[in-house]
Structure 1
């Protein structure tokens, strides 16, 4: 009798729309009601439920564009929804068996604590390059390359899989690293020379020499605010009098009281009249203390103008 009911139910379902089929399916299986509330078709609900994928994880698969069948396949291979999406974005159509990769790497290398994300990276790369866990093991045990250097190991494992000897792979790796180091040093020197040229053009070699390098530093750091002595001997770039009110001591010196309560006063001096609002390179000095109108001893940030410049 049950077989007959199932048969007639199947016949009835075969003539229904997808929405009607889901409605009928859910009405016959109340245990999947939560999936209906979650916006899943009855078909997808049964696929996920049979694969023991919780509804909250199924929602992630759905949000990342996987059908229930594909999600079941990738999940069974050991991928999370994010890992599967990343692999698919890299052009990988079929998932590798992460469980198989993990066990084979453990056996071949004798290391049981290989991070899951590293295994996924190797498995994904193998889908494109064809190398095996044993090729990876040969590289890690036969060269100075480490498992966490996935890029280097993948390149070497690919060559091993193509028939290149471990000895040759290791020799080429050492040559490549030496060349990369040489190129990195050359690039660093080039960048340093370019930056020095820019600084000389912007401020002049006299300023760069006086500052022992770049003056492009921030004056109002927590350290300088807490300890005005910390700025002594260091160079900074500022706009004279920015967001502050000057109290002139003479034409070449003024105490600037900040309009921002949390910022300290700055005592600025120069070899000539101060140019309010101008961009300048300044150098911190030993603080010049004074007694305020309230009778308290004040220790302001004290700086001297080295040079004005045009921005």
Structure 2
């Protein structure tokens, strides 16, 4: 089956063609400033694929609180014009083939359940660590989205009565606070810069990275004792840093032990598909929606 896949982000829209059980012909374009411009860009990509292949569907990974059944993107995101109207119906009219749409973090989780780090478990949590903290809950290999589509929005978790997990655990937000503490101009410091300074032993950077790891471990502790999943999968840019992942595992185990929950065996793994997870997960969702994949 040939499916055109899009992953809508705040700065770029990634795309590819799913055929022969693999993702090919990947590319991207800058996220347009308007809905009409977005439709034109997506139609151009789809027409390009259709010129050489028979396209049978379009699968879309989107930010926001996605109601996949109603075909509406609720909530807010960095792409404001995609929200609160029957967007799926417009896409189906535009492309002339079936369209599926799902939240980006949920798509990443579905990719891992289908073919990746959670393919051998029934219950898992997926955590995306980036500019904020997102996630998804997998129960019996299915997304648990919650009454208000808020299932998996773990970044809203309060850690100290004031600060959320997103604020304390996001490398982007921690780096911004570090830059202010050091009197550095905006745009100079990102997560990579902060981690490098910490590795060099710069005391303030070490303090901020230690705090970030501690916040993430407290979040994972809370999730571990609340859901007791078979596996917790970490995605996002931080997932490539095995040194940080090892420290997060160690700190999470510390909290479990010190609070008497040492019998909770939390298996923390990194994601398999990294930058392609949203695209592959959108395909997984399309297949489920169209009845092409076992649940």
TM range, normalised to the smaller chain? under 0.3
Query: What's the TM-score, normalizing by structure 1?
Result: 0.20
TM normalised by structure 2 equals 0.20
In proportion to residue count, which structure has more strand?
A: 2
